[in-house]
Structure 1
Amino acid sequence: MTWFVNYRLDSSVSVVDRGLAYGDGVFETIRATPNTLFQLNDHMSRLSSGLTKLGMPFSFEDQKTLTHFLNVHILPLVNEDSVVKIIVTRGEGGRGYLPPENCTHTIIIGILPAPNYQIHQEKGVSLSISPVPVSSNRFLAGIKHLNRLENIMAKRFLASPDFEAIMLNGNNELVECIQSNLFWIKEGILYTPSLQLAGVRGTFRKNIIENQVNYSIQVGRFPLSTLMSADEVFITNSLMAIVPVTSVAGKSFPIGLHTRKLQILMQAKDEHGVH
């Protein structure tokens, strides 16, 4: 693993950095291969949007500097399938929870080995239902912020052989999985939960919703029973792409034609440079 802190080769941050003290920041995990940072614009947009929502705006010049560093200094170091992780915090300062009026961001960039999801993409995975609920908070919804304790707790409850767990909100409505977004297909219509009050707006989820025209898409608030009556189920994130779901809480689902078509469609976009 190779790490940079504020654009210098380093692996240390201040003990009073607000990212460490309070989780005061955001992060992105970008799929990378030699010569390509996938969905970079979408990742940068979500990072900037999250920082703005948290009251520590990332200026156009900040974005330009980070993008330039990723393309000129990070990408040449990628010689195999990798993950480029970006963490941006508010930096140091403030008194207790009260942040400083003007922040100096701490920018952390790492290059890590990529997990291999090929077998999962081919054969599918099983899901359980997490006992850990997702908190609904419109001020934090959609942001990939550093406060991931709910996901950590959910991961602790995840038992083999389940690959992921579905997380519900306090009203027992579907939100997402621990580390992925959730989709299902019923009678040719594509469904995914609304993330207006909770969850992370995945970049791959965004691309599926915006960049295909073969399906009518319904985004809304759905109970678990809606999913359990689906014809096909799959999960997504920027690293795993589309992974079929073959079981949810013991109920079997087929790896259907629509899921396979979407896998082929999104793979073709990658191969033709739609990143």
Structure 2
Amino acid sequence: MVHGTHNALDDARNNDIKIYINGEFFSRNDAKISVFDSGYLVGDGIWEALRLHKGVLVFLEDHLNRLWESAATVGMTFGFSKEELVQNIKKTLQNNNMHDDVHVRIMITRGIKKTPSQDPRLTISGPNVVIIPEYKKASEESKEKGITLFTSTIRRGSPDYLDPRLNCHSKLHEVQALIQAIEAGADEALMLDVNGFVSTCNATNFFIVKNNEVWTSTGQYCMNGITRAKVIEVCKQNNIVCKQKNFSLFDVYGADEAFVTGTFGGLTPVTKIDGRTIGTKSYGDFTRKVSGLYQDLIIASVNNELKK
């Protein structure tokens, strides 16, 4: 079994999900996009991922803002509003009769090309919009076990050629980093920035705990994670020192605890990095505390939405 931050409990209902493509719904096996799609041809697309919890799309506004910011960054015009996209997401969930423990992936590419090419002027359609909802509940066993990381030689890119904060379909460098980690016997990859400081992981954001302080990277060379931002927020609300700063593997190897964050898994503890054991427990007490505060924030957000 593949072990990592995206471990989910098997759910047979996913065999029969309906997937949204440009206003229509298709069964899993029939959901298809043209080989002339910009995302397939040159990775010219952006994406977002949401969690449905007790009928509420958690931190929806944050995710929408990030999606629209990504579109502006790559010069993509949608032709629809945030409200219209939300209605289509809700239609997709209703069509699947989904209410809880659901992961929603939204993918938007520039559209269909006249011919295989990078040139956006050769796009002959509007954006292709795909919404994939799946029943995905994180495996508590995996969370309790924690994950191991390996520091990849593949660096997080500089903002002047592919800003790491951009949620785009061009993920090959992250795939390369993950392959290195897997071949080294780890679950996922830790990635450094262009200056050699610790940046992020291949699919999640990275934190360490030192002397009852939480450290994460400056944010200049890492994914613009919503969960990352929420962890920083709950630390501030609960008088936990959380520093966004440059730090190196020297600091990581000597950390009391380490964990990663992501929309799907929330907080996942890290037990080993480059073969070195981190902390004394597979799930450190401080990490568990911050995880609980993050879960409390989700519950509060959901309750506020239900009151509206």
CA distance in 2, matches of 1:191, 1:99: 40
Pairs within 5 Å for 1:74-223: 74-75=93-94, 77=96, 78=98, 81-93=101-113, 96-100=117-121, 104-114=126-136, 116-138=138-160, 140-159=163-182, 162-196=186-220, 198-213=221-236, 214-223=239-248
Shift of residue 229, structure 1, vs aligned partner: 2.1
* Matched residue SS, 2:301: coil
Q: Deviations over 1:5-37 (max 9, x none)?
A: 112114222222211111111111222345132
Q: Does 1:240 align with 2:265?
A: yes
Q: Which has the higher helix share?
A: 2
Q: Does 1:29 align with 2:52?
A: no
Q: Is the 8 A contact 1:181 1:205 kept in 2?
A: yes
CA distance in 1, matches of 2:19, 2:95: 14
Aligned mate of 2:295, from 261, 267, 270: 267
CA distance in 1, matches of 2:65, 2:205: 18
- What stretches of structure 2 of length at least 5 have no aligned partner? 1-16
- What stretches of structure 1 of length at least 5 have no aligned partner? none
Normalising by structure 1, what TM-score?
Answer: 0.88
Q: Does 1:65 align with 2:84?
A: yes
Q: Is the 8 A contact 1:126 1:162 kept in 2?
A: yes
Shift of residue 230, structure 1, vs aligned partner: 1.7
Shift of residue 180, structure 1, vs aligned partner: 0.7
Shift of residue 71, structure 1, vs aligned partner: 2.4
* Matched residue SS, 1:212: helix
Relative distance call for 1:52 and 1:94 in structure 2 (3 A) is farther
Alignment match, 1:6: 22
CA distance in 2, matches of 1:7, 1:206: 32
CA distance in 1, matches of 2:114, 2:216: 39
CA distance in 1, matches of 2:114, 2:24: 25
CA distance in 1, matches of 2:155, 2:36: 30
Shift of residue 101, structure 1, vs aligned partner: 9.6
CA distance in 1, matches of 2:141, 2:186: 14
**Count of residues paired in the alignment:** 273
| Equivalent AA in structure 1 for residue 127 of structure 2 | H
Relative distance call for 1:122 and 1:20 in structure 2 (3 A) is same
Q: Is the 8 A contact 1:180 1:236 kept in 2?
A: yes
| Equivalent AA in structure 2 for residue 227 of structure 1 | V
CA distance in 2, matches of 1:63, 1:192: 31
